[in-house]
Amino acid sequence: MNNHSSSVNGFYNFLTTTLDDLNRSFDHHHDHNQNPNFISTHFLQSVLSSLRSFHSQLTLLVQRLHLPVGDKWLDEYMDESSRLWDSCHVIKTAFSSMENFYMSGLNLTLIHPTHNHQLCRQIIRLINGCEREVWRFEEENRNLTETRIHPLLFTFEITTGSKLNGFNGFRGVLYAMRKVSSLLLMIMFNGFLVYNYLNGNNDEETTFFENCNEGVFGLEGLMGSVGRLYKRVVQKRGIGLFEIRNVREAMGELKEELGRVTMGEDVDLLELEEKMERVKCCFGLLKCGVENIVMEIDDFFDEIVHGRKMLLDICTHHIHNHT
């Protein structure tokens, strides 16, 4: 096995191992949360970290393969890094759209609950506003899914066979990267939005992620890992964000208790305060998780810019050395 084959197969093995780790992490995550239909921001951070590490390893692999200057491989690398950039920008936009929601929720928790009917009605109105905010950003994200996410994930050419061996195997690497990154980006989007557009019922998507007959040594095992993770997270589960589910439940319980106060029922003030504290805690966890993901996406943007510049500099340096 030559150095090029060793490097390419090492990259495939890295992708496979990381995806299998995510699969196990997903199982552990749901065993802990005891709810198979929601994904936490913590798990989504793991997904995003994996995507970043894949891109980093891809950039390093280019240097080890010593690809010819001025060949089409650079254009294909630039196209893939641009696709990652555009996809993560859409995801950042979607996550950032939650800010009004969790800030409104944290503001309502500044009000100290009492048996005062008027104050309770005020808090109920604020909760209703938060619920409308959830519906608003979910609808915005549905539109993003249909107009931007799906085209970014599924509009590139599906290549099989000997073509994937081009550029010392780098074309196969790019193809594998596109499939894997499409899956991870889909998980990111599936994590914070309950919708039916990307829920595994689309035959095109199912075929795309479960096709293991790529015709290139090393890809079969990787595509098996892709198919397993797709079935586990997207096709059967993964239909919403765990922290939003908790926020909604906490607000619903508080709203019900406040409604009892306005109806003149006898309500334990300590229990009312505990429900308000739970709402505050849930909104705080959501805020922290979303902000961490947005910051990590920003770091990824910097890495993409650095990777593109590094490869352009290498090519420029080689050109100068040959003139």
Q: Where are the domains of the chain?
A: 3-28+39-63+72-315
Phi, then psi, of 241 in degrees rounded to 5: -90, 130
Q: What is the mean pLDDT of the chain?
A: 83
According to the model, what pLDDT value does residue 204 have? 63
233-285 tens-digit pLDDT: 766 554 678 899 899 999 999 999 999 999 999 889 999 999 999 999 999 99
111-162 tens-digit pLDDT: 988 889 999 999 999 999 999 988 888 788 878 777 887 788 776 555 656 6
The CA distances from residue 117 to 123, 125, 127, 192, 272, in Å, are: 10, 12, 15, 35, 13
181-192 tens-digit pLDDT: 999 998 888 776
What's this model's pTM, rounded to 2 decimal places?
A: 0.87
According to the model, what pLDDT value does residue 34 have? 55
According to the model, what pLDDT value does residue 196 have? 42
Please determine, for residue 1, whether its predicted confidence score (pLDDT) is greater than 50: no
More confident residue, 222 or 6: 222
Structure tokens at 267: 């309500």
pLDDT confidence tier of residue 11, bands split at 50, 70 and 90? very high
Provide the 3-class DSSP secondary structure of residue 128. helix
CB 285 within 8 Å of CB 243: yes
Structure tokens at 141: 């994200």
